[in-house]
Amino acid sequence: MPPKIQYTKGDLLRAAFSLTSTRGIDALNARAIARELGCSTQPIFRAFHSMEEIRQEMIRMAMDVYASYINNSTYLTTKPYLSTGIAYILFAREERELFKLLFMCDRTHNGAITDPEDTTLDYVLELVMKSTGLSREQALDFHYHLWIFTHGLASMIATCYLELDRDQIIRLLGDQYRSTRLLFGLPPVAE
């Protein structure tokens, strides 16, 4: 008799993540994961208690990918805060389904911008405080203003409603940043 193929929890998560990142969280079910691996659903329910446990892992893994975009964004421009906005939009463009999973879903029970799972917020707020001199509370309010605009652009890109090149993204985010500085009574910055 041929040996049974054993699947590790990591194998199952990689298959689930591949499915989630290409087809979206709604396509995630035990049969689809099994099909991705070429096995029955049995190994899935040996390794996990439920599909909800797998969905939570997908959110955590998607958050890790997102955090990598934000935390490694400094190469995008010489302006670190602007770079995080560009990285957010690039994440929406390059990882559409993961972006939708994290930022285009009902968050009634999962939190808002201050979600404790979002490890990037502290980093971004530090950048705002450094570039503006605002307190943490003011920096969060400042970031809300810019993030809502940036999220709108990212959502339009993630849904293929809008296509922008890098220069257009930089110009739009820069214009919004300068306007927000004025709204908060901060002196203008040189372009």
Q: Give the pLDDT of residue 113.
A: 46
Q: Are residues 100 and 43 in the same domain?
A: no
Question: Quick check: is 142 in a domain?
Answer: yes
Q: pLDDT tens digits for the chain (191 residues)?
A: 555 668 899 999 999 999 999 999 999 999 999 999 999 999 999 999 999 999 999 999 999 999 999 999 999 999 999 999 999 999 999 999 999 999 998 766 655 544 556 789 999 999 999 999 999 999 999 999 999 999 999 999 999 999 999 999 999 999 999 999 999 999 998 76
| Sequence-ordered alpha helix ranges (H) in 50-165 | 51-71, 80-94, 96-103, 120-132, 136-158
Q: Which of 136, 98, 88 is nearest to 18 (CA)?
A: 98
Q: Give the pLDDT of residue 5.
A: 60
Residue with tokens 């820069």: 174
Q: Are residues 73 and 153 in the same domain?
A: yes
Domain that holds residue 177: 59-183
Distances (CA, A) of 172 to 70, 86, 148, 150, 166: 19, 10, 13, 9, 10
Q: Are residues 1 and 79 in the same domain?
A: no
CB burial string 55-94: b at 16+ within 10 A, e below: eebbbebbbebbbebbeebeebbebbbbbbbbbbbbbbbe
Q: Are residues 67 and 135 in the same domain?
A: yes
- Domain with residue 28: its CATH number is 1.10.10.60
Q: Give the pLDDT of residue 191.
A: 65
Distances (CA, A) of 33 to 29, 90, 153: 6, 27, 32
Which amino acid would we find at residue 16? A
